Amino acid sequence: MTTVHGGLDTAELRGLGLMPEQLLDFSSNINPLGISRRVREAASRANLSAYPDRHCLELREALAARLDVSIDNILVGNGSVQLIHLLARARLSPVQSCLIFAPTFGEYEEAATLAGGGVHTVQAKEADGFRWSIDTATRAIKRIRPSLVFLCNPNNPTGVFLDCEEVKRIRDAMGRNGLLVLDDSYSALADRPWNAIPLLDLGSVTILRSMTKEHALAGVRLGYMIAKANVISATARLQPAWSVNDVAQAAGLAALRDDDHIEAARKVVAESKAYLYHELNALGLPVWPSAANFLLVRVGKGAKVRSALLKKRVVVRDCTSFGLPEHIRIAVRRPEECQRLIQSLREVLGNE
């Protein structure tokens, strides 16, 4: 495992003599309200002794009913990251390549490299507000003819959110041979989310969803993909048995019956995001408009600011591994927690 991620690192914390519960974590982009009571109760009733259902039948049935697709169009994974790796293994080889819309989540490149595939990127520039030129991207796709295209929408870490027409143009440029992996992991908590499911009718599209983000189940690991049945079966063949444990399946089923929790989280994200934009601007820090539940902020030296904040028991994501060493990424949390972050940033930047 070489990809750098947000989240707390036990070894690093030990070195600093800190305990995870002493920290306020802005480095994982999860639901600011945490796990709902219903989900916690359902998870606590899971059977820890029996093998879980290998095929996640009940959860797939609930997802299929909700998304209006067949259960044959759904594969559940040990986090969406497992599905990213399985897709890369299913679709890439040393004579095939993928194209990644960058800067973005590091596991796409990791998965493609481990699968032996070539990696191309379409790079967004800060000067363009981190928006990709769709013309440049479609030309690259036609030239390279990738077997896989990874597009994170809204994108981690920039918060750029392409609309349906832009995604369709990317899909159309691919023709029939490639598979577009649309990583929808952050759409549930995004501003103005749109329904990507109808894109499946175009063929050669897979939608990835992460329940670890919207329901704060990062420790449980739960994600799923939606695709044509032949893509699902080719990917499922590579999945180790019992990848999705019973706690995750029980939590997932309860989460699907708890839309109120997502609605409440969306309100918190909207309120805190407005507060953060305002305060970051007041600190003179450039912050990019983000449709997602996290913000990309230019602070000068991302690694240095992260270390200084850590000493104040606040964790942010240094974006050096995204190729953005001047930036940090901040997850949107509850208003009172965001106030603590702003106060700590003010102290670290010497504005007080």
Residues that bind ligand PLP (CB under 6 A): 79-81, 105, 152, 156, 183, 185, 210, 212, 218, 223
Least distance from ligand PLP to the Cβ atom of residue 288, Å:
17
Nearer to ligand PLP by Cβ, of 36 and 212: the residue is 212
User: Tokens at residue 260, please?
Assistant: 């109120």
Judged by beta carbon, residue 211 or residue 309, the one nearer ligand PLP is 211
**Closest to 98 (Cα-Cα) out of 123, 124, 122, 117:** 117
User: Smallest distance from the beta carbon of 79 to ligand PLP, in angstroms?
Assistant: 3
Q: For residues 233 and 325, give the distance between their C-alpha atoms in angstroms, rounded to a whole number.
A: 40
Nearer to ligand PLP among residue 97 and residue 153 (C-beta): 153
Nearer to ligand PLP (CB atom), residue 215 or residue 266: 215
Contact 322, 302 (CB under 8 A): no
Q: What is the smallest separation between the CB atom of 212 and ligand PLP, expressed in angstroms?
A: 3
- In the complex with ligand PLP, the residue whose CB is nearer, 34 or 335, is 34
Q: Distances from the Cα of 257 to the Cαs of 13, 164, 348, in angstroms? A: 36, 27, 42
State in angstroms the smallest separation of the CB of 25 from ligand PLP.
Answer: 13
Tell the burial category of 22 from Cβ atoms under 10 Å away from its Cβ (0-12, 13-18, 19+).
exposed
**Dihedral sign for Cα atoms in the order 189, 99, 323, 24:** positive
- Specify which residues 118 forms β-bridges with: 97
Tokens 């969406």 found at? 80
Minimum Å distance from CB 4 to ligand PLP?
11
Shortest gap between Cβ of 211 and ligand PLP (angstroms)? Answer: 7
Q: What is the DSSP string of 49-85?
A: SSPPPTT-HHHHHHHHHHHTS-GGGEEEESSHHHHHH
Cα 198 to chain centroid distance, Å, stands at 21
Nearer to ligand PLP, 217 or 342 (CB): 217
Token pair 């996290």 is found at 294
Instruction: Report strand pairing: 317-318 vs 74-77.
Output: unpaired
CB of 223 to ligand PLP, least distance (A): 4
Comparing every residue's Cβ against ligand PLP, the nearest one is 79
CB of 265 to ligand PLP, least distance (A): 16
- Give the C-alpha separation, 193 to 293, whole Å: 12
Q: Phi, psi at residue 347, to the nearest 5°?
A: -65, -45
Strands in 43-191 per DSSP E? 74-77, 97-102, 118-123, 148-152, 179-183
Residue 62 or 181: which CB sits closer to ligand PLP? 181
Token pair, residue 264, equals: 């409440």
Cβ at position 9, least distance to ligand PLP in Å = 14
Give the nearer residue to ligand PLP in terms of CB position, either 7 or 118: 7
- Closer CB to ligand PLP, 52 or 79, in the complex: 79
